[in-house]
Amino acid sequence: MRSDSFLSSKFLSILLLLCCLLTAEEAIHLLRTHPNRLNYDQAATKNFGCVPRDAGKRLFLCPIPGYGTMVFLCSDKHCFPKEPTTGLTIGPAEEKLLRDL
């Protein structure tokens, strides 16, 4: 195969079309999932797919449309995303945050 065949207008047109299709697919995905509209305060209490992950019902595993699942740390009034580096244990900083809510 010659090196100038990669720079032909037909090949570049195909690449441009593929880029446009991928961009359109990502835009559709973003519009369907609305990741910025997630209300963390109501994530565990209003989301019917949430499953408690501890006996005290402070950790919830919630499905996030288009993104799999996310762990939330919840008090009686508020929820916030759990720090992923601490796993399913509640660290001292998170314990303080729960008390302050």
Q: What is the C-alpha to C-alpha distance for residues 101 and 87, in angstroms, rounded to an integer?
A: 21
Task: Please state the three-class secondary structure of 1-26 as a single string.
Answer: CCHHHHHCHHHHHHHHHHHHHHHHHH
- What's the predicted TM-score (pTM) here? 0.54
Query: What is the pLDDT, as a whole number, of residue 17?
Result: 96
pLDDT digits (tens, 9 = 90+) for 58-74: 888 888 766 678 888 88
User: 7 — alpha (psi -120 to 50), left (phi > 0) or beta?
Assistant: alpha
Over residues 78-88, mean pLDDT: 78
Tokens for 16? Answer: 């441009």
